[in-house]
Structure 1
Amino acid sequence: MRSIITIKKHILINIILFMLNNLFNQEKISYNLPKTNVENIDLSQITIEETKRSFIEKHFLETLIISNSSDNENNDRFGDKDIKEKKAFQKEFTNTLFNGRIEINIETNNNEIENPPLNSIKYIWNKCINLLNQNSPEDELRKETKNRFPNIKQKKLMENLKYTPIFVIKNGFNQMIMGFPEQEFRKNWLDQLYDIYKNKYLLNTERDKYPTSFGFLFVNPNDAIELKEYIYKKYPYSSKQMDIQVYPISLQDGYKFNRTSRTRIQFRFIPDFTEISNLLSNCKNDKNIIFDPRQKYGKDYFQGQPIYQIMPFSVKQSGKEILLEYSGKIDPFTNKRKFLFTNLEGLKYAWEEFRERFPNLKLPKKPKIIVYNLESFLKDYEMNITQISEDFAIITNKTAITRTKDIANQKIYMNGVEAFSHKIYPKVLSIKVWAERMLWALKSKQAPEL
C-alpha cells in the first residue's frame, strides 16, 4: 500500500514539474541579452532593459549571457537616473552567485536564444525555488547505488578499517565540529527552502565542487590539536563553553561518513602533514622507496595521505627461492594478511622487529617499500582493481596509537559514579550552557564575545 502511495506521489510531482517547466519556458519570454566584455568582467557592466522584462523573468527565471562580443548596438544600459535600481540588481546578483543559485551552461550555439553571441556563456538564474533541475537517469542510478551502501565489497572493506584510529574535533554534546563557508550564514529563508528541496529530491552531481560544510578526519592527532588550539584562540568563549576537544574514532566510521554524507556536505581525510614533508624531503634519493605509478606527487606536493607497503621478498628454503611478505607476528609461510603503514618510521621499526623475530629468514636490513595514498587505495578496493588481498590492516603512527590508548584507559578505569557522570555529561552541559546564556541575557544587553 505504501509503495502505491509513493508511486502516486512521484507521478503528481512530475506533473507539477511539467506544468512549471512549460510555464517558465524560455520561448515565451521576451528580453534583450546583455553583452559583457569577458576580458574585463564587472558587475556594473551587467545590465538588462527593465522595461522589456516580463513578470516571470523578473521574479522567477532569467537567462544571462556573457560573451566577448564588442557589439553593444542593442545593449541598453542603466542610465544615471537608474543608479538605485542598478545597485539593487548588482546586490541581488552577487548574493545569488554566492548561494549557488546560478547555473552555468557553456554552449557556443544555443538554439533557445535568438542570434546568440559567439563564444558565449549562458547563466540560468533561478529566482524562485529551482524545480527544473530534475535528476537524469544516470543521477538516479547513482542515487540508488548510494542508498544501498554498504555493498558486499564495502562491508568487507569496513571490517578491515575498524581497528585503525583517526581523529575528529567534537564538542561536549558529542557533535563533530564542521566548517561552514561565510555565505551560508547570509542565506534568506527562500535560499534555505531551495537547499532543502535540492538536498531531498536531487542528487547534486556538483556537490564536490560547491560543498556547504566540511568535516575533518585527521590521520595525525597533532594536526587535530593544532586546529583545536586555533579554534580556542579565535573563539575562546564558545570553545570553552562547548568543551571543544580532540577525540578518536575508527577509520571505519570515517570511511562511512565520507561515502554517505548528505548532499553538499563533505568529510575529508586530512593527511599527516609532517609525514608528507618528511617523505618528500628525505626520501628523494632512497632507492628502496618506490612510488606507485598511479600516485600523483612532485618535489613540493603529494596526493592524499601516504600509505606504505613492504614489497614481497624472496628467501631460500630447501634449495628453492620462495616469495614471502611481511606478516607482523604471524608466520610468513602461513600468513594471508597484508599490512599497510601510514608512517614510514613505524614501518621501519616494524621491519626491525620482524627481522629479530624470524632470524632464520636472513632478511635484508632495509626492505623495498612502495608508496601510494589512502584515498585512492580505498577507491581501488571498492572497484576491485587493486591486487591487494581481501584481508588487510592499516597500521597508523605511534602518536595516534598512544593517544587512543590513553583515552581508552580513562574509560576502562572509571568507577561507577564517573561512568554515570560521563554518560549524562552531554545533557548536563546542555542545561549549563542554556542557563549561562539566559543569565547573561538578563544581566547584559550585549551578546558575549565568541
Structure 2
Amino acid sequence: MLLYSADKNINFFQVTDQCNPVELQLKHDIKFSKLTSEFTIAANPLVYKSQNNNYKLISRNFFVELINKYWSETVFLSKSNSLSDTYINKLKSDGLSIASQEYKSFLYGFSKALINDRIHVISNFLENGKNKNDFTYIKYVWKKGFNFSWPENNSYLLSLLKDKNFSNNRHSALTKYLAINKLPIFTIVNSFNQIILSESSNEILVNKNLLDRIYNIYSQYFLENKSNQIKYQSLFFVNPHDAHEYKEDINYKYNIFKLNSNLNIFTTRLDIYYYLMKMKMKNINFRLIPDLKEVGQLVSEYQYYKHIKIHNNQYCIKNAFQGQPIYFIESILAKNKKSGKIELIKYIYLNHNNLSRSKYTAVFMNYKTALLAWRKFRQQMFQYDLPIKPNLTVYNLESFIKKYDDNSNMNFNNILFVPSIESYFYLKNTVSSDENRKLIDKFITRYSYLQIFAKRIIWSLTSRQPINW
C-alpha cells in the first residue's frame, strides 16, 4: 500500500518501539507541536509512538523537503496493515485527506517516473523488507531532476565499442547460410514498402517535458536497455495467415487512416530478419511470431503422439510451447525386404535442382509437411519396411539457430528449412497475382506521395483530431 498525505509538509511515516523501527518515507510532512517522548527518533520521522502509546505527527526540516522535491525521494510500498490504518486515521483526524487532487498529482508523477525508469528498487523484498512483526514492504528510490544514474557496463555505446573489437565472421557466415535456404517469413508494409512499427503506449500517453527528454537520451546511450525503453516493435510472421490477421486488425483499429494506409503483406526471408536482429538499432525490437495454429495443435494434440519426442532443451508444457516449432525426422532401424537385414535408415533431402545433388538435413516448419515428406520418402525407399509415420523430434527455430550461432565448430551448410504448405500456396498465388498487378502498381506508386499528402490536407481541414504526419 502506498501512503501519501496531501499536506505539503508530510514526508515520513515511522513507527518506533523499543527494538524495532519501521519507516515509510512519503512526499510531504505535517507540522505538529507539543510533542514529547523519551525515545531516540530517526531524522525527520512523520509518526512515532510515545510512552503513552499515542501516535504523533511531526515535521521535517526545509533542507530535507528541498532534497525530496528536486533531487531524490525514497518511497516504501507495503500491504495494508495496522500501522498504515493508524496513519490514515491520524491524517483524517487532523483534517487531512489522502484522496485530494495533490495526491492524484503525486500518483501521476510516480507513474510517469516508473515509465521513464527513474524509480529503482534498492532493497530485497524477501530478505530486507520483513521484520519480526511481519510488516513487509519494498523500498524504492525516486531520482529527480538531474540526478541521473551512473553509466552502465552493458550500455548501448559500450556495446558498440565492444562489437568493433570482436569479429562478426560467424554472424556473416550464418546469415549467408540462411540466405541460401530462403525460408519465407512475412511482415506488414505500407505503400512505400516500409515496415510497419507499433509504437509503445508509453510514448503516446505520457507527456514529457524537456528534462524527461534529456534523461531519455542519456538512458538510451549510457544505461542498460530495459524492456520499458523499447519504443517501437516490428513483427515478422512464419504463417502468412497470421500476418493477414494482423493487417486486418490494424485496419480495424485505425480505420481513420484506412484511406491512406494501403497496408500489404510483404514476403521476406529469415536471413533478413536475423540480420535486423543483429543490428544495433536502439529502441526497436524485432519479434518472430510463430505459426499460431501449429503451436496450438502441437500443444493440444501433437505432443501426445507416441512417435513425437520433445527435445530435451525445449520448454513445452500442457498449455505452452516456446518459440516456432520445428520437426526433425529421426533415423530408424528398418528391415531390407530383399536381403532381410536390419539397416539404419537416415532421412535426407536430395536437392535435384543442384548440379552437385547435395544432401541436406531437413528442418520442417509444420507437422503435416513432415508427414508428406516422409510419405514420399517411403515410396522412394520401397525396398525397406518403413513405418507409416516417422519418429519426430520437436525443437524451436530460435534456439536451433542460436545453437549454431554460438558454436563455431558446427556446420550449417547441410541444413535445409522446409516451409509449411500454407506458405507454399500463398507464395504461389502471390506471384501469379503480382504479375497481373505489376503495371497498375507502377502507376499507383508514382502518385502515392501526392495522394497521401492531399488526403492529409483534407483530413486536417475536416477533423478536429490532429493527424499523425
Find the counterpart in structure 2 of residue 447 from structure 1: 465
Counterpart-to-counterpart distance in 2, 1:355 and 1:265: 46
Matches for 1:414-433 after TM superposition, within 5 Å = 420-421=442-443, 425=445, 428-433=447-452
Partner of 1:326: 348
| Residue 69 (structure 2) pairs with residue 58 (structure 1) | yes
The residue type paired with residue 394 of structure 1 is F
Task: State the shift of 1:447 in Å.
Answer: 3.5
User: Where in structure 2 are the equivalents of 1:352-431 lying within 5 Å?
Assistant: 352-360=375-383, 363-384=386-407, 389-409=412-432, 420-421=442-443, 425=445, 428-431=447-450
Higher relative contact order (CA 8 A, sep 6+): 1
Task: Report if aligned partners of 1:140, 1:203 keep a CA contact under 8 Å in 2.
Answer: no
Residue 299 (structure 1) shift: 2.1
For the structure 1 residues 380 and 302, does the alpha-carbon distance in structure 2 shift closer, same or farther, using more than 3 Å as the test? same
Among 171, 174, 178, the residue aligned to 1:154: 171
Q: CA deviation at 1:57?
A: 3.0
Unaligned runs of 5+ in 2: 1-9, 16-23, 30-59, 129-133
| Separation in structure 2 between the aligned mates of residue 302 and residue 171 of structure 1, nearest angstrom | 32
TM-score, normalised relative to structure 2: 0.71
Could you say which structure has the higher strand fraction? 2
Corresponding residue for residue 349 of structure 1: 372
Going from structure 1 to structure 2, the CA distance change for 1:257 and 1:104 (only over 3 Å counts) comes to farther
Structure 1 residue 226: Cα displacement:
1.0
Q: Judge conservation of contact 2:116–2:216 (CA < 8 Å) in 1.
A: no
Q: Distance in 2 between matches of 1:408 and 1:126?
A: 56
Matched, 1:221 2:240: yes
Pair 1:259–1:253, CA change in 2 (3 A) = same
TM-score for the superposition, normalised by structure 1: 0.74
Q: Which residue of 2 aligns with 1:289?
A: 308
Aligned counterpart, 1:26: none
Deviates more, 1:225-234 or 1:257-266: 257-266
Structure 1 position 197 matched with structure 2 position 218 = yes
Partner AA of 1:436 in structure 2: K
**Residue 240 of structure 1 corresponds to which residue in structure 2?**
259
Which one-letter code corresponds to 1:187 in the other structure?
A: N
Does 2:28 correspond to 1:48? Answer: yes
CA shift in 2, pair 1:187/1:377, >3 Å: farther
Amino acid at match of 1:349: L
- The Cα shift of 1:174 comes to 2.1
Cα deviation for residue 35 of structure 1 reads: 6.5
Report how far residue 358 of structure 1 moved.
Answer: 4.3
Provide the rounded CA distance (Å) in 2 between the counterparts of 1:386 and 1:301. Answer: 32
Distance 1:435 1:242 in 2: 14
Distance 2:214 2:433 in 1: 44
Q: Secondary structure at the match of 1:293?
A: coil
C-alpha deviation, 1:274, in angstroms = 0.9
Q: Percent identity?
A: 28
Q: Which residue of 2 aligns with 1:21?
A: none
Whose helix fraction is larger, Structure 1's or Structure 2's? 1
CA RMSD between the two structures:
4.1
CA shift for structure 1 position 402? 2.6
Residues 412, 354 of structure 1: alpha-carbon distance in 2 compared, 3 angstrom cutoff: farther
Of the three residues 277, 286, 295, the one matched with 2:296 is 277
Q: Any idea what the Cα deviations from partners look like across 1:192-240, whole Å, max 9, x if unmatched?
A: 3322222233342x33x66333211111010111121122122223133
Q: CA deviation at 1:118?
A: 8.2
Greater C-alpha radius of gyration: 2
> Using the alignment, how far apart are the partners of 1:241 and 1:329 within structure 2?
44
Q: Which residue of 2 aligns with 1:41?
A: none
Post-superposition offset of 1:178:
2.1
Aligned residue in 2 for 1:305 = 324
Q: Work out the CA distance in 1 between the residues paired with 2:241 and 2:268.
A: 15
- Provide the C-alpha distance between the structure 2 equivalents of 1:309 and 1:340, rounded to a whole number of angstroms: 6
Give the superposition deviation at 1:86: 3.0
CA-to-partner distance for each residue in 1:425-450, whole Å, 9 max, x for gaps? 2x7323321222223334x3523899
Q: Which stretches in structure 1 are left out of the alignment for 5+ residues? A: 1-30, 37-43, 112-116
One-letter amino acid of the counterpart of residue 381, structure 1: Y
Once the two structures are superposed, what CA deviation does each residue of 1:368-419 show, in whole Å capped at 9, x if it has no partner? 110001111122222229977543121111222232344445556777x657
